[in-house]
Structure 1
Amino acid sequence: MKLTRHLVFRSAACAALALSLLSVSSRPQAAPPVPAPAPAPAADANKCKAYGGAKCCSPDVTLHLKKEDIFSACGQSEATYLGEVGSKDTCKYVFKVAGESEESTYVQVYAPAAKEVLEKPTDPFMSFKKVGKVWMTDKAKSPKAAAQVSSSTGLYLAGRGYFVSVAASTKVCSKAQAAALAKSMK
């Protein structure tokens, strides 16, 4: 019992001594440093402009074709760009074209992961021609497909474990502009 009292007394004395040393400083202390103000956030170049309350596009899709590439190749700008509509493997960039419905003025990118990737697109209703490393729709093989070929240009790029398919409305991007756009696909 004596040992316990001795330890308790010593512990209490040590605690009192430590408290007195901490509360009475032998030298004045400087005020704590003022934290530097946080830098103003830079304008985010990748900031999403969702269209019609839709989700933003996945970066996994947009890395294959960026909106800035569409602006450059197709003669579009932020002024005509309405926004994007994203889903799992698809990104649809919507543009405003005078006198046209917004449902038909887009460039859509589809980039899914795939175990087996075809080197060349196959479609029984249209033919394709190679433009650099990308396949581009060329001619319709049926009257029904002729309307589709005249209203949009299809682009196809095979990758390792994925492919990229682009449908560019001819109201947004002419056939010649779509051929230039093909160079930007990754």
Structure 2
Amino acid sequence: MQEDDDNQNLVLGILFGIIALVIGLVIGLTTYVTGQTSSATAPAAVAAVEEAPEIAEIGEPLVKLYFDSGKAELPAAAVAEELPKVLAKLAEEPAKLVLLSGYHDETGGAAVNAEVAKSRAVAVKEALIAAGVPADKIQMRKPAVTLGGAADDAEARRVEVRVQ
């Protein structure tokens, strides 16, 4: 009788252990999958862009526009020196689009950085529109990682411009 109770307790213990393992596995997988999805759209992981079809970056950026820490104002030197390169490339190949991608450095909080990266890209877009580029020729792209440049913070605070 005692041996039957011991065997029954052992079987029940194993059964409850398996059930707990399955529940833990389901919760773990759900958390893992949900974590990947939400981190891909979390403010720290994206430069905000307008809703548009995803456009792949092709080649190296034509120009990189650099910003001061925490600032989204496009430096006058960038307007004078770099934007004409974009305008010239579009004049050569008018069928192409301008693709903008904003980045930030590690200073500041995640939400602030996402907004700064977005504001920088919008500032470049507005400058291009003011220079005569039609708004429908400009696309904003969300980089997979918006934390830019391992070399230094100044390199990280940029907007990359491609004509493709």
The structure with higher relative contact order (CA 8 Å, sep 6+) is 2
Scaled by the length of structure 2, the TM-score of the pair is 0.28
Judging by fraction of residues, say which structure has more strand.
1
Scaled by the length of structure 1, the TM-score of the pair is 0.25
Judging by fraction of residues, say which structure has more helix.
2
Highest CA radius of gyration, 1 or 2? Answer: 1
